[in-house]
Amino acid sequence: MFNIFSVVILAVLIFSLITSAVKILPEYERAVLFRLGRLISVKGPGLILIIPIVDRIIRVSLRVIVYDVPPQEVITRDNVACKVNAVLYYKIVDPDKAVVNVENVHAATNQYAQTTLRSVVGTAELDELLSQRERLNQRVQKIVDEATDPWGIKVTSVEIKDVVLPSEMTRAIARQAEAERSRRAAIIQAEGERQASEQLAKASEILTSVEGGLTLRTLRSLTDVSNSPNTTILFPLPMELRKLLPGSDDKGEK
């Protein structure tokens, strides 16, 4: 009985040692291997073998991590208070640096992203924040990427999501936009009137430069008016048309 019990215990111990010595890592994970506290190498993916009790591994994911930067209260360079939030996309490219060089790589990256967002937005004016958001995104990405490089981090993208302004500032911007639209409409209308005046001036110049041109234009106008039924129009008859009428005699007119 004792021998059977010993065999069972031994089998369980051997099985436990084997299972603890064999690790399987998916494609998106790596294992940072420490042996007696010293960094040995980065293992994976797939099947890896370690020495139980002596070796210790820390799993690190290589997938892109999405961090939603909470709203940050910022004062722009032109002294406008606003709240700005963003989205940070990053991933670990050097697992050993992410484990050895910083205690909590994700918390450190997130905190640095928040402070950088406040700093970059604080150096920009409100118009830049609203109209040149892509340039600010690139600045934040570059700064955070360079700062987190010793931690084995690669920042792939930063996107500013929302800019929340005070209500009075929102109303002022709306009034400014309405005034700008009215100004542009007035400019377009004035430009149209100018072009129409130029065309009329050119047409008048052509009619006066051609002999009988004004008479032909008058006849064309009479033809167009005659197409409208039940219309009576009285207007003075030009002298050039009177000469064309039968029985007209210029000599008899004194």
CA–CA separation, 179 and 42 (whole Å): 62
For 235, phi then psi, to 5°, come to: -155, 155
CA–CA separation, 51 and 67 (whole Å): 36
pLDDT at 1: 56
pLDDT at 138: 95
- The 3-class secondary structure across the chain, one letter per residue, is CHHHHHHHHHHHHHHHHHHHHEEEECCCEEEEEEECCEEEEEECCEEEECCCCCEEEEEEECCCEEEEEEEEEEECCCCCEEEEEEEEEEEECCHHHHHHCCCCHHHHHHHHHHHHHHHHHHCCCHHHHHHCHHHHHHHHHHHHHHHHHHHCEEEEEEEEEEEECCHHHHHHHHHHHHHHHHHHHHHHHHHHHHHHHHHHHHHHHHHHHCCCHHHHHHHHHHHHHHCCCCCCCCCCCCHHHHHHCCCCCCCCCC
CA–CA separation, 63 and 156 (whole Å): 12
Domain boundaries, the chain: 2-61, 65-170
pLDDT at 232: 62
Mean pLDDT per 10-residue segment, the chain (254 residues): 75 82 93 95 92 93 96 91 95 96 95 95 91 93 96 96 80 65 76 76 66 58 60 58 55 46
CA–CA separation, 133 and 157 (whole Å): 13
pLDDT at 104: 95
This prediction has a pTM of: 0.65
pLDDT at 176: 67
CA–CA separation, 214 and 222 (whole Å): 12
pLDDT at 130: 87
pLDDT at 191: 82
Distances (CA, A) of 85 to 57, 64, 68, 116: 36, 19, 8, 12
The answer to whether the Cα torsion of 120, 121, 126, 132 is positive or negative is positive
Residues 211, 240 contacting (CB under 8 angstroms): no
pLDDT at 254: 42
Residues 87, 158 contacting (CB under 8 angstroms): yes
CA–CA separation, 162 and 77 (whole Å): 18
Please state the CATH superfamily assignment of the domain spanning residues 65-170 in this structure.
Answer: Band 7 domain (3.30.479.30)
pLDDT at 186: 77
pLDDT at 10: 81
Token code pair at residue 144: 């955070």
CA–CA separation, 230 and 137 (whole Å): 70
